[in-house]
Chains A and B, each alone.
Chain A
C-alpha cells in the first residue's frame, strides 16, 4: 500500500513482534541471511518431506496452442494462418524451440528451457476440465473448487487440502497465502489462510506511537464477533508479526536470479522469499491476468508474446532461485480455466476453447518432457468440432502432486466425486 505521507509510511517494521504476539516458533538465528534477520527453523519443521505448493492461475483462458506449440501438426498451421508459431525445423527466426520432435515452445518461453532441460519442468498437453463450459467465470470456479457444477461445494481444492492435513510447521500462523486482495477460490476453506496482495506492507498504518494499543484494541473488538471475521482478524494480527520478520524489500535471490519488476515477477519473488523463510507457509496462489486474447493476440510478437515472456521470466527466476538447493522443496502448477479455439478468428485472436496445456515445475517432478495423450487437431478429433479435446483431466495432475508431494492421501475430500489416474508426474 502506498501513501503520500512519509511520516506514517515509515512504520518501522522491526520490533513489531513484541506488540503482536504469538509466533512462538520464531527465534533469533545468527546464521540467517540479512534479509531474514530473525527467523530460525523450528526443530520439528518438516521441509523436505513435503513440498510447498505454488498454484498459478492464468486468468482468462490461456492459448495453450501458442504456449506449447504442436508444430508437428499440419492442421495447426491450416487453422492459424496469421498466429501459428513457425515449425521448429524451419529457418524462421521466430520458429518454435523444439521440445520433443513434435511440440515446441515459442521463443517467448525460451527462459524456461533450462528448467525443462534440468528435468524440473513438465508440460502436460490436451489437459484441463472435461466440463464443456466456455464461461470464464464458471470454468474458473469449477477448476478452483476442483469439481464442476456443484453449488454445495464452497471451498477450493487447495483449501481442502490444508483442511485435511496437519500443518507442515506445527502451530503455524500462516499456512496459505493468496497473493491477491480477495482470496482465490482455490484457497477458500484453508485454515490460517489469507489474501495478502503485498507481503512487504502488511502492517497497520496510522500513528506509530499508538500502533500497539490500536492493534490490541482491534484484537479485542474482533474477539466479540463470530467467524469469518473473528478468525480472520486474529490470523491477520498474527501474520503481521510473522511477516514483519521477513525483509521482503531486501530479499536476496540465490544464484543471481533476477525477477521481472512487474506484478507477476513481484509475486513470484515474494513467494520465493516466503518459501525460503520457511515460516510454515505451504500453499501460495498467484494470479496472472490478461489471457483472454480475442483480438490481436500476437504469438511471436505482440501482446500474448509479452505475457508469455513475463510468465517465463518469472518462472525461470523462481527456478534459478530455489532449485540450486534441494530444500525447501517446491512444486509449482500453472494452469488456466480452458484453452482457446483452434481456428483463429477474424481479428487475429482466438475465441474460447476447451483443452489446454499445463506447466508443472518441481524438485521432484518428472519433467523434461511433454506428457500427453494427444487427440489430434483434425476436425473430427476436435471437441465439438472446434477445440482441442481434453484427454488428461487436470485433477489427475493435481491429485498426484497432493498425494505424493504434499503427503495428503485424502483425495476423495479434495476432489470429491472424482477418481484420479496418476500419470507419473512425480518422481
Chain B
C-alpha cells in the first residue's frame, strides 16, 4: 500500500460550506466556475468531504457506472480497500462476463488464422467484446485503463492489415499490460505489428527511413509534444527503428508477427537528445545486432523526465479532470520515476482521497454515457450491432479514431453534440408497439427495475440510486418526477423518464 495515501476521512472536521461543494449541488457551482474560467487553483480540502459522496465518486471515476453491487462493495471496503480491490483485477471473478464472450472466436486467434477471415468480423467481434467488458465486467478500473491505453496507443482498426491484427494488439499489448508496468507496455507496443504497420514503420528502410512511428513514439507515446525533442531526434529515432515491422502474409506461420529485418536496418551510430543532459549515443552495430538500437531508444525514453511528466499529466487528467492541479501531476510523475512506470502505483497517487475530493466533474464521453446506461440498468444485450452503429454516429466507436492521438478527453470537444446523448437514452428505453427495442439487441427490463414501486417518489429514488448512486441533483429529480407523474403507472412513461434521466445534464458528468 502506498504510504502517500492519507487517512480517508477525518470525521471531526466537517465544514458545512465546503462540504456542500462536493455534493451534487456543489458540482453545479463548480461547473459554473469552471465554465467561466474562474477556477484558477484547486480547492483546499479533503477533510470535509461527505464520506458516502467520496466513495460514490471513487466508484464513478474508476468505473463506467454504478451498480448496486459496486455500491455495496465500496461501502464494505472503504476508499483504500475498494481501490486496492479494483487494482488487483486478476483476483476479481469475471466468469459470468467471460462466458458471454466465449462465442467470439477471433479474440484468441493469431494472425495466421485471422488473415483468411473477413476483416469486418474481426473488428465487430473485438468491438462487441469491448462493449460487453466495459458494461458488464466486474474489473471496472481495469476496463477504464484499457480504454485509456487504447487511446494512448491508438490504432485505427480500418487501416490496412490493422483490420486483422489490431485484435492481437488489444490482447497482447493493451489488455496484457493495462495495469502493469509502463515500461513493459511501451515495449509491447513498440513490438506490436499493428502499431508498426499503422504508423508505417514496417516499410521504413535504411536508405529512406519513414519518420511516422518515430515521431509519434516521441510525441504521443512518451515525451509529449513539448517534451524537448527535436526534428533531428525524430530522424535519429527513425533510423534506430529501421527494420522493425510486421512479417508479411507470405511468411507462413510467422505471418503477421513482429519481425526485425537486419537488411533494412541503418547500422551507423546515432545520437539522440544531443546537447541535453539526456544525450545518448547509440553505437554503430552490425545489422544482426541492430535491434538493440530501438531497445536503447525505448530505455532512453523511459528514463527521460519528459516521459514521466507527460504520462503523469495524461493519467492524472484521466481520473481527476482537465484542471488537475500541477502539484498532483508532479506527485504522479515522481511515482512514475520512483517505480519505473508502475501503473498501479501512479493510479494510487492520482486517486489519493484528497485529490479526488478536490476534483471537479468530468464530462462522460459518448462511449462512457452508453456504457453507464447499459451498466446501471437491468439490460440484456443479445447483439451489439446497432450499438456499434450508434457509437459510430456519436463519433466514439472504439478503434475508429483515425489519427494516432486517440479520441480526445476534453469537455470542449464532446459537449457540442448533445443530441447523440439524448438519443441514446431515448432509444435505449424505447419499445415499439410490437415489442421491438429502440436499439435492436438491447432490452432494458423496466418491470424488474421498478418492481413493487408504486409512487413517483419511490420510482425516482430507485432511478437515483441506480444511475447516480443516490446523489441525483434535487432540481433535476423534481423535473423528471414531474414528467413521470403525468402517468406514472404507464410503463411507456416510466421508460421515457429513465431515458430522459440518461440524457439529463447531471448524468453527462461523473
Q: Which of A133, A181, A346 is B208 in contact with, Cβ under 8 Å?
A: A346
Q: Is the interface of B mostly helix, strand, loop or mixed?
A: helix
A336-365 CB mask vs B (1 if < 8 Å, else 0) is 000000011111010110000000000000
Residue contact A218 to B412, C-beta cutoff 8 Å: no
Q: Which of B225, B402, B436, B486 is A137 in contact with, Cβ under 8 Å?
A: B225
Residue contact B210 to A345, C-beta cutoff 8 Å: yes
Chain A residues with CB below 8 A from B479, complex form: 217, 220-221, 224
Chain A residues with CB below 8 A from B212, complex form: 292, 294-295, 351
A82-113 CB mask vs B (1 if < 8 Å, else 0) is 00000000000000000000000000000000
Q: Which of B408, B427, B430, B504 is A182 in contact with, Cβ under 8 Å?
A: B408
Contact segment of B168-176, B309-317, B414-422:
B414-422
Chain A residues with CB below 8 A from B500, complex form: 214, 217-218, 221
Residue contact A233 to B412, C-beta cutoff 8 Å: no
**Min C-beta distance of A227 to chain B, whole Å:** 5
A1 at interface, CB cutoff 8 A: yes
Residue contact A136 to B423, C-beta cutoff 8 Å: no
Chain B residues with CB below 8 A from A178, complex form: 416
**Min C-beta distance of A328 to chain B, whole Å:** 25
**Min C-beta distance of B38 to chain A, whole Å:** 11
Residue contact A205 to B231, C-beta cutoff 8 Å: no
A15 at interface, CB cutoff 8 A: no
CA distance A206 to B473 in the complex (A): 25
Chain B residues with CB below 8 A from A347, complex form: 200, 203-205, 208, 210
Chain A residues with CB below 8 A from B441, complex form: 4
Chain B residues with CB below 8 A from A296, complex form: 203
A24 at interface, CB cutoff 8 A: no
Which A residues between 203 and 259 are near B, CB-CB below 8 angstroms?
203-207, 210, 213-214, 217-218, 220-222, 224-230, 232-233, 236, 240
Chain B residues with CB below 8 A from A134, complex form: 215, 231, 234
CA distance A278 to B407 in the complex (A): 34
A275 at interface, CB cutoff 8 A: no
CA distance A178 to B417 in the complex (A): 10
Residue contact A182 to B414, C-beta cutoff 8 Å: yes
B341 at interface, CB cutoff 8 A: no
Q: Which of A197, A218, A352 is B417 in contact with, Cβ under 8 Å?
A: A197
A384 at interface, CB cutoff 8 A: yes
CA distance A239 to B390 in the complex (A): 21
B489 at interface, CB cutoff 8 A: no
**Min C-beta distance of B426 to chain A, whole Å:** 3
Chain A residues with CB below 8 A from B427, complex form: 3, 8, 205-206
CA distance A289 to B496 in the complex (A): 38
Residue contact B433 to A217, C-beta cutoff 8 Å: no
Contact segment of B59-67, B252-260, B291-299, B391-399:
B391-399
B146-159 CB mask vs A (1 if < 8 Å, else 0) is 00000000000000
Q: Which of A3, A8, A236, A344 is B419 in contact with, Cβ under 8 Å?
A: A236
Query: Nearest CB to that of A141 among chain B residues?
Result: B225
B40 at interface, CB cutoff 8 A: no
Chain B residues with CB below 8 A from A290, complex form: 402
**Min C-beta distance of A426 to chain B, whole Å:** 31
How many A-B residue contacts, CB cutoff 8 Å? Answer: 206
CA distance A194 to B429 in the complex (A): 26
Residue contact A8 to B438, C-beta cutoff 8 Å: yes
Q: Tally B residues with Cβ within 8 Å of A.
A: 76
A138 at interface, CB cutoff 8 A: yes
**Min C-beta distance of B496 to chain A, whole Å:** 5
Query: Nearest CB to that of A180 among chain B residues?
Result: B395
CA distance A137 to B402 in the complex (A): 13
CA distance A204 to B423 in the complex (A): 6
Given contacts A198-B393, A205-B423, contact A224 B225 (CB under 8 A): no
Q: Which of A4, A197, A217 is B385 in contact with, Cβ under 8 Å?
A: A4
Residue contact B28 to A225, C-beta cutoff 8 Å: yes
Chain B residues with CB below 8 A from A381, complex form: none
Residue contact A197 to B209, C-beta cutoff 8 Å: no
CA distance A229 to B225 in the complex (A): 30
Chain A residues with CB below 8 A from B426, complex form: 204-206, 214
A39-70 CB mask vs B (1 if < 8 Å, else 0) is 00000000000000000000110000000000
B91 at interface, CB cutoff 8 A: no
Chain A residues with CB below 8 A from B273, complex form: none
Residue contact A295 to B210, C-beta cutoff 8 Å: yes
B10 at interface, CB cutoff 8 A: no
B405 at interface, CB cutoff 8 A: yes
B223-235 CB mask vs A (1 if < 8 Å, else 0) is 0010000010010
Residue contact B200 to A294, C-beta cutoff 8 Å: yes
A279-297 CB mask vs B (1 if < 8 Å, else 0) is 0000000000110101110
Residue contact B200 to A2, C-beta cutoff 8 Å: no
Chain B residues with CB below 8 A from A124, complex form: none
Which B residues between 16 and 61 are near A, CB-CB below 8 angstroms?
28, 31-32, 35
Residue contact B418 to A224, C-beta cutoff 8 Å: no
Among B200, B215, B396, the one with the most A-chain Cβ atoms within 10 Å of its Cβ is B200
Which B residues between 424 and 452 are near A, CB-CB below 8 angstroms?
426-427, 429-430, 432-434, 436-441
B102 at interface, CB cutoff 8 A: no
Chain B residues with CB below 8 A from A343, complex form: 208
Residue contact A188 to B35, C-beta cutoff 8 Å: no
**Min C-beta distance of A62 to chain B, whole Å:** 14
A202 at interface, CB cutoff 8 A: yes
Given contacts A206-B430, A207-B496, contact A346 B423 (CB under 8 A): no
Chain A residues with CB below 8 A from B203, complex form: 295-296, 346-347
A195 at interface, CB cutoff 8 A: yes
Chain B residues with CB below 8 A from A210, complex form: 492-493, 496
Chain A residues with CB below 8 A from B32, complex form: 226-227
Query: Nearest CB to that of A134 among chain B residues?
Result: B231
A-B contacts, 25 of them at CB < 8 A, read A7-B432, A7-B434, A59-B403, A60-B403, A134-B231, A135-B215, A137-B403, A137-B405, A138-B225, A154-B412, A181-B366, A197-B395, A206-B496, A213-B496, A214-B500, A217-B479, A220-B479, A221-B480, A224-B475, A227-B32, A236-B419, A289-B403, A290-B402, A344-B208, A346-B209
Closest 9 CB pairs of A and B: A181-B395, A346-B208, A206-B426, A4-B440, A226-B32, A347-B203, A1-B393, A346-B205, A195-B416
Query: B residues engaging A (CB < 8 A)?
Result: 28, 31-32, 35, 199-200, 203-205, 207-212, 215, 219, 225, 231, 234, 366, 385-386, 389-390, 393-396, 402-403, 405, 408, 411-420, 422-423, 426-427, 429-430, 432-434, 436-441, 473, 475-476, 479-480, 482-483, 486, 492-493, 496, 499-500, 503-506, 508
Q: 17 new A-B pairs (CB below 8 Å) besides A3-B440, A182-B413?
A: A1-B423, A4-B441, A5-B432, A134-B231, A135-B219, A137-B403, A180-B395, A183-B413, A206-B426, A206-B499, A207-B492, A207-B496, A214-B426, A229-B415, A240-B419, A345-B211, A346-B203
